[in-house]
Amino acid sequence: MRFFKYHGTGNDFVVLDRLSGGPLPSPEEVEAWCRRHTGIGADGVICACPPVAGGDARMCIFNADGSEAEMCGNGIRCLARFLYEHAGIKKNEMLIETAAGSKSLSLSVEAGEVREVEVDMGAPELAAPDLPASDDPANRPGVVSISGIPEGPVDAFCVSMGNPHCVIVVDDVSQAPVSTLGPAIERHRLFPRRVNVEFVEVTGEGRLKVRVWERGVGETQACGTGACAAAVAAVNLDRCSFPVHVALPGGTLVISVDQHGHVLMRGPAVEVFRGELTSRRGKER
């Protein structure tokens, strides 16, 4: 079984072509392929699937622990480059279906290669079924206090970008307790489907430095939806204004908004290598 390896600002993925149908990987296969020392090594597995709602393709994405995710900002940019360069979808404007709805993408192409991709991530949601209601005394949407965790009560900003995010503003992101506070909040009772956790330092006007604890993965080099959530939180908390340059360990993403209030995310997608998988087990979808 042929696979492609991509990364978007260090957030890396195994990409499989399922545009003609065929089995999707089992959770056990995803876990095995994503292991850094005994597998390919990745933050997740993306399957390019046939569309069902009029798009150019459909993205099915699985976290490194085998669980399925609704959406991935870095992953969808990687999928767009794969579709353009290897699946014959030579379009500078694409529509890719996800479990969080269809997403419009604009591809910057030079000499037949995709250099950058901008994704319309849709409007952020400050009230969603997989997020707690705001308990802020000033009644600010999205603002919550999280208790019962190792670091004591923590003020956070919760937002959905098609998947749930909990954003914590810190003074120095390099010293943030990502490895302890991240997993404690990920599985906190306030978040019925678990949550992605962003630790955010404001470094200047329109500039953030961010580390992310991803649901089902752990700390990653980058997270596209997490960068969007961090920017939305910082703007709503009056810490900066759009456009926002979000610096992550694996690179920088530029987050802006359009006239409809939709969040736009722009960044690279890089093909790393190609190879063959020996396992052929999976489930049909």
Instruction: Compute φ and ψ for 83, nearest 5 degrees.
Output: -60, -40
Looking at 87-206, list the stretches that DSSP marks H as alpha helix, in order from N- to C-terminal side: 178-186
Write out the two tokens for 223. 């997270």
Burial of 148 (C-beta count, 10 Å sphere; 0-12/13-18/19+)? exposed
Task: Count how many residues are written for the chain.
Answer: 285
CATH number of the domain bearing residue 181? 3.10.310.10
My answer on whether 77 and 164 are in the same domain is no
| Span 242-271, average pLDDT | 97
SS3 call for 6: strand
SS3 category, 210: strand
Q: Do residues 130 and 160 make contact, with C-beta atoms less than 8 angstroms apart?
A: yes
Enter the tokens of residue 4: 């492609």
Q: Is residue 20 part of a domain?
A: yes
Phi/psi of residue 32, each to 5°? Answer: -65, -45
**Section 221-234 average pLDDT:** 97
Check residue 279 and give its pLDDT: 58
Are residue 176 and residue 273 in the same domain, yes or no?
no
Contact indicator for 25, 285 with CB cutoff of 8 Å: no
Assess whether pLDDT exceeds 90 at residue 136: no
Say whether both 89 and 41 belong to one domain: yes
Residue 244 lies in a domain: yes
Q: Are residues 66 and 20 part of one domain?
A: yes
Give me the percent of the chain exceeding a pLDDT of 70. 98
pLDDT single digits (tens) 19-39: 998 899 999 999 999 999 999
State how far the Cα of 36 lies from the Cα of 103, in Å rounded to an integer.
30
Kindly state whether residue 179 falls inside one of the protein's structural domains: yes
Q: Are 106 and 56 found together in one domain?
A: yes
Judge if 90 and 193 occupy the same domain. Answer: no
116 and 190 inside one domain: no
- 139-190 pLDDT tens trace: 789 999 999 998 789 999 999 999 999 999 999 999 999 999 999 999 999 9
Please give the Cα distance from 86 to 221 (Å, whole number).
Answer: 25
Specify the pTM. Answer: 0.92
128 located within any domain: no
Amino acid 183: pLDDT: 96
Do 9 and 107 fall within a single domain? yes
Residues 27 and 113 in one domain: yes
Mean pLDDT of the chain: 94
Give residue 131's pLDDT band: very low, low, confident or very high (50, 70, 90). Answer: very high
* Per-residue confidence (pLDDT) for residue 282, from 0 to 100: 46
The pair of three-digit structure tokens given for residue 256, joined into one six-digit string = 């802006």
Distance CA 237, CA 231 (A): 10
- Residue 93 gets the label, from left (phi > 0), alpha (psi -120 to 50) or beta, of beta
* Amino acid 268: pLDDT: 97
In one-letter notation, the amino acid at residue 282 is G
Q: How many CA atoms lie within 13 A of 12 on its CB side?
A: 16
Range of the domain at 153: 143-257
> 195 with 245, same domain?
yes
Give pLDDT, residue 137: 82
Distance CA 77, CA 119 (A): 7
Residue 280 — very low, low, confident or very high, per pLDDT cuts 50/70/90?
low
Catalytic positions are 72, 223
pLDDT at 277: 84
- Closest alpha carbon to 57 in 71, 76, 74: 76
Same domain flag for 248 and 155: yes
Cβ pair 237, 85 in contact under 8 A: no
Distance CA 124, CA 96 (A): 18
Q: Inform me whether the pLDDT recorded for 58 exceeds 90.
A: yes
Indicate whether 112 and 152 sit together in one domain.
Answer: no
pLDDT bucket at 285, cuts 50 / 70 / 90: low
pLDDT of residue 38: 94
Total number of domains constituting the chain = 2
Residue 131 lies in a domain: no
Task: Give the CA count within 13 Å in the CB-facing half-sphere of 40.
Answer: 29
Q: In this structure, are residues 75 and 220 in contact, taking their beta carbons and an 8 Å threshold?
A: no
